[in-house]
Amino acid sequence: MPKGTEHETVNLGLLALQVATLGKYAASLPAGSASGYLAGYLIGTLWVTPDLDLAGRRERPRPLQNWGLLKALWGPYGLIFKHRGLSHTWIVGPLTRALYLLLLAQGISYGLSMLLPTQELGFGFNLRGWLLSPTGAGVLTGYFVSQWLHLALDGIRPTRGRTHG
Ligand SMILES: [Zn+2]
């Protein structure tokens, strides 16, 4: 099983290839999609990876270290998902982390609105509209590709269900 740093090294190495390819075709892509892709890919390489399922355990994988003090935010995720279980599946796994992040953001924005009731926080974010935009679609694509590289390196096939296979 590759350690977190190996995942990071492989993903970042392949990023160089992708930047070269994207650079070639960027002009023909919808505005914002290439930069969105790179942002999603980096987020999925450095911070939001399948190994966040190790949160709260003795092992400290690289992505958790990258969160610094905020790594505690992923404690519940590590409690809910066993290591290399559902978190390490190709479609549902990445979605669990995206939804977890969304819930965290909701909780934080709710907490802030309680603390600062008179402030206009501007959290009226249109998620659906954003996901359908070239930037949103690019971020989501880059995020999924980064997760899939992680799973491929872990030796997990796309056809895998919940358990090791
Ligand atoms: Zn893994």
DSSP 74-121: GHHHHHHS-TTSGGGSSSHHHHHHHHHHHHHHHHHHHHHHHHSTTS--
In this prediction, residue 119 carries a pLDDT of 61
Closest CA to 47 of 156, 139, 119, 152: 139
Rounded to the nearest whole angstrom, what is the distance from the C-alpha of residue 3 to the centroid of ligand 1? 8
Q: What is the mean pLDDT of each run of 10 residues along the chain (165 residues)?
A: 80 93 89 94 97 91 94 96 96 97 89 76 74 95 98 93 51
The CA 154 to ligand 1 mean position distance, Å, reads: 6
Ligand 1 centroid to 112 CA: how many Å?
A: 33
- Ligand 1 center–CA 91 separation, angstroms: 14
Ligand 1 centroid distance, CA of 50 (Å): 5
The answer to whether the CB of 48 falls within 8 A of the CB of 40 is: no
Enter the tokens of residue 28: 């023909």
Q: Report the separation in Å between the CA atom of 83 and the middle of ligand 1, taken as the mean of its atom positions.
A: 8
DSSP H/E element including 152? helix 134-153
3-state DSSP call for residue 46?
helix
What is the rounded CA–CA span in Å between residue 125 and residue 144?
A: 22
Distance of CA 23 to the CA centre of its chain: 23
Distance 106 CA to ligand 1 centre (A): 27
Cα(130) to centroid(ligand 1), Å: 29
Ligand 1 centroid to residue 2 C-alpha, Å: 7
* CA 142 – ligand 1 centroid, Å: 18
Cα 69 to Cα 78: distance, rounded to the nearest angstrom: 16
Token pair, residue 100, equals 């977890």
Q: How far is the CA of 114 from the centre of ligand 1 (A)?
A: 37
Residues 6+ apart with CB under 8 A from 61: 3, 4, 49, 51, 52, 54
